[in-house]
Amino acid sequence: MDEQTRKKNIRRTALIVTAVALAFYIGFIMMGVMRS
Amino acid sequence: MTTAVVDGQAAEHDDHGPTKGIKRWLFSTNHKDIGTMYLIFSLLMFFTGGAMAMVIRSELAVPGLQFVHPEFFNSMTTMHALIMVFGAVMPAFVGLANWMIPLMIGAPDMALPRMNNWSFWILPVAFGILLSTLLMPGGAPAGGWTMYPPLILQTGDAFPFLIFSVHLMGISSIMGSINVIVTIINMRAPDMSLLKMPMFVWTWLITAYLLIAVMPVLAGAVTMLLTDQFFGTSFFLAAGGGDPVMFQHIFWFFGHPEVYIMILPAFGVVSEIIPTFSRKKLFGHDSMVYAASCIAFLSFIVWAHHMFTVGMPLTGQLFFMFATMLIAVPTGVKIFNWVATMWRGAMTFETPMLFSLAFVFLFTIGGFSGLMLAIQPADVQYHDTYFVVAHFHYVLVPGSVFAIMAGAYYWLPKWTGHMYNEKLGKLHFWTSTIFVNVTFFPQHFLGLAGMPRRIPDYSVQFADFNLISSIGAIGFGLSQLLFVLILVTAKRGEKATDRVWEGSHGLEWTVPSPAPWHTFTTPPKNRIADEAFD
């Protein structure tokens, strides 16, 4: 795998994982909003 | 042959060493430097939290109020837990991950080195803020590490600082886990498939996914606490139509996986050490991976076993009881695999192996008391007693902390280039093991006899076991000074070989000792990853 592709993959994995973390954060606060 | 390739890589970068002075540490993007900083930070926090434990156990040595006000006692229990969980155990494992994961998978560094620097440097700020609350009007937070409302909302000036520091700890952990996942997924040596990864790398990959899922949940929960306190919301305030029990559900949705976040990397460390000193390959490597994955999955569906006494439907009680008991199956797979690895092995008992053996035996005791607590009708009796305190301390001290110690002794020669003092190491092991049991085993009896947790005074019927427990705690605390002595004198020992241990396998042992500042600048080409499985 060339360096360019590796960097692209690294960026993509990091973005996906960050999105998952944000989804959990916002999702649980929204759950609180809907229940209160 | 493989060593020659790696040695060559190390030599290529001799012209590009670390910068000198404080800048090396402040701006470092090198995984080894950052790993070292994490480990030193966690040791400092271990002694800070340990000092608080000494306050707690001194107060509880005899009935009556001795040294501290009850409010301060409550602050000590709260701060001790927060510091040990988020400041000592978790950063220690992140430190081990930083040091060892790139070396184990043949990567030159972590995938996102600048973010790695940030993940670390956020931590001292977070704990500086948390510790500063001890000096604030109203004192440090005293509502327990679980931060249940409405009690935690009675905290004085410290409240927003507590919330801010928990957010910072969460951000640091999330950034650290993003780095671990991205590194493992994208930077493994070309011939290292996922199932060929060492167990420490595997358990950390699973742990990082757990962190990504649950640290934001904790952040969400404390954000809602903050808005309840300062912005007029009523997420958890019954008077405004909110539900305080919802906080408990959200907290434990984070809190139970958090337990596995603190134990899965410990499983990984022990899975590296036992094969080395048994001179056999790890029994059932793949089944260990599947067992760790099962444990991680189950950790998401058992949270309400912490809340059996708040009241829930019978079906809920049954579900959470049986789901919790189910965790014993994959955990049992791991325990039996470690035993099978040792079976008929040419075992030797150096300090890392001693700590690992104690881990297997004593963690199992913590696991069994966990099974007792999983039984809903029994839990109604045990809930909020010292039995629970004994249970989770058996899991976290001779569990997580012993595994960290085992890992530190195991990899110390690779880090420093010198063998540590084995005699002192063994003395550290035996004193720690004896005193940890003297401290925590009597707490089972105290709990079964009905002594509640989080109280500064107690009925005289609990006096004897409390005194024994306090003597053990002070002995355990003093024993840890031996560890500091061993670390301080670590560079005085004989020179370590590259392989260090006769039975060791894996890429990390192919680099020189101490590991050069740069390693694997080009990925290892030989099939050396297979070595561990031959």
Residue written as token pair 């402040």: B26
**Which residue numbers of B are catalytic?**
80, 109, 145, 172-173, 256, 258, 260, 271, 305-306, 331, 334, 453
Report the pLDDT value the prediction gives residue B5, as an integer from 0 to 100: 43
Report the pLDDT value the prediction gives residue B2, as an integer from 0 to 100: 40
Is B492 in contact with B69 (CB distance < 8 Å)? no
Report the pLDDT value the prediction gives residue A3, as an integer from 0 to 100: 84
Is B129 in contact with B165 (CB distance < 8 Å)? yes
Q: How far is it, in rounded angstroms, from Cα B209 to Cα B213?
A: 6
CB-based contact (8 Å) between B134 and chain A?
no
CB-based contact (8 Å) between B238 and chain A?
no
Q: Measured in Å, how far apart are chain A's first and last C-alpha atoms?
A: 51
Cβ <8 Å between A28 and B217? yes
Report the pLDDT value the prediction gives residue B527, as an integer from 0 to 100: 55
Peptide bond into B18 cis (omega under 30): no
Is B334 in contact with B359 (CB distance < 8 Å)? no
Report the pLDDT value the prediction gives residue B526, as an integer from 0 to 100: 57
Task: List, in sequence order, every residue forming a beta bridge with B452; answer none if it has no partner.
Answer: B385
Interface probe, candidates B105, B178, B188, B300, chain A, greatest A C-beta count within 10 A: B178
CB-based contact (8 Å) between A19 and chain B?
no
Reported ipTM exceeds the 0.85 cut: yes
| pLDDT per residue as tens digits for the range B184-195 | 999 999 889 999
CA dist list (Å): B504 to A19, B250, B272, B415, B493:
39, 43, 8, 15, 20
Report the pLDDT value the prediction gives residue B6, as an integer from 0 to 100: 45
List chain A residues with CB under 8 Å of B177.
17
Nearest to B178 among A9, A18, A28 (CB): A18
Query: Where are the strands (E) in B159-211, listed by range?
Result: none
Angle at B460 between CA B455 and CA B466, to 5 degrees: 60
CB-based contact (8 Å) between B245 and chain A?
no
Report the pLDDT value the prediction gives residue B48, as an integer from 0 to 100: 98
User: What parts of chain B have a pLDDT lower than 50?
Assistant: 1-13, 529, 533-534
